[in-house]
Amino acid sequence: MASAIVLDKLTKYYPGSKAPAINQLSISIKSGEVYGFLGSNGAGKSTTIRLILDFIRPSSGRITVQGMDSVADSVAIRRHIGYLAGDVALPKRVTGRQLLHHLASLSGGIDLDYLGKLEKDFQAQLDKRIGTLSKGNRQKIGLIQALMWQPNVSVLDDPTSGLDPLMQEQFYSAISDAKKRGAAIFLSSHSFSEVERICDHIGIIRAGELVYEGTVASVAAKRMPNWQVTVSSKADAATLKKSKSLKVSNLSDLSLTVCPVASISSALLALSKVEIKSMTIKQDNLEDEFMSFYNQEGQK
């Protein structure tokens, strides 16, 4: 399938800064693919997105969207893009409906039935002044304006920020529909769990550089479980600590947190050599796990 978005050795220096905000970033996203872009604050996610939309210009490198150059053909490209900014900024004195109709008039109109469907699905309050709405309700308007075009390419910066779980589900459903339609979706997020759920590929950015890229499945395979075990004696605890197959930390003398170093099989073999009184799988916090992975990859 053809690439909908291609970032080719993209570099961006901000004026007065010696370090690049984005350094030699190359990413390719195919039509019908959801690409999750992960990174901590200041890693370069929003800069990348703003380069794609041509709000800012690259210092070097090139972006193409649906085969068109992001700078030379920026107006034509934006006929195909739905965009949601991180921490979406909307004019406060107008209603959501007035804003959406204004944006629609700039784009040559929209499918009003689809707008009605989005309004209903997201339970959006389009007839109140935006300034009177909560963050979550403003985010819904932001999402509707990004999705109402039924675009071929969606660029979404932290799209579920401020949404309650019910609305997050609506958003995931809308993304699923867009994917079935063959749209390419570039989505930045802080949430590993969200990316794991809806994305096909992920890229992890750190200090402006892509430190990992792969499928979500390959990232999941890298994850090792954590077990909380209680052993019957201090000698058993000492045995586990000496094992090269395990990373062990003490909760108390006999209660330990155990994590495989290389493989689960070798870790289980090491555990089988001691008497275990109880064993539970510790539920990982996915966000912590992502950050651990992120830091680890970044140090390479």
Using the rule CB under 8 A, give the single segment among 102-110, 171-179, 184-192, 232-240 that binds another protein: 102-110
For another protein, which is the closer residue by CB, 103 or 251? 103
For another protein, which is the closer residue by CB, 25 or 256? 25
Decide if residue 251 touches another protein (CB under 8 A): no
Cα–Cα distance between 300 and 297 in angstroms, integer? Answer: 5
Closest distance to another protein from the beta carbon of 234 (Å): 60
Return the residue of 9, 57, 120, 181 that touches another protein, per CB under 8 A: 57
Q: How far is CA 124 from CA 84, 96, 110, 187, 254, in A?
A: 16, 9, 17, 22, 54
Decide if residue 1 touches another protein (CB under 8 A): no
Decide if residue 110 touches another protein (CB under 8 A): no
For another protein, which is the closer residue by CB, 89 or 220? 89
For another protein, which is the closer residue by CB, 38 or 81? 81
Cα–Cα distance between 286 and 239 in angstroms, integer? Answer: 30
* CA of residue 284 relative to chain centroid, distance: 18
Decide if residue 19 touches another protein (CB under 8 A): no
Q: How many CA atoms lie within 13 A of 285 on its CB side?
A: 4
Q: What's phi and psi for 54, nearest 5 deg?
A: 65, 25
For another protein, which is the closer residue by CB, 36 or 82? 82
Decide if residue 53 touches another protein (CB under 8 A): yes
Closest distance to another protein from the beta carbon of 71 (Å): 10
Taking alpha carbons only, the member of 78, 99, 98 closest to residue 89 is 99
DSSP secondary structure string for all residues of 78-137: TTSEEEE-TT----SSSBHHHHHHHHHHHTT---HHHHHHHHHHTT--TTSBGGGS-HHH
227: β partners: 258, 281
Contact set with another protein (CB under 8 A): 14, 50, 53-57, 74-76, 78-79, 81, 83, 85, 89-91, 93-94, 99, 102-103, 105-108, 145
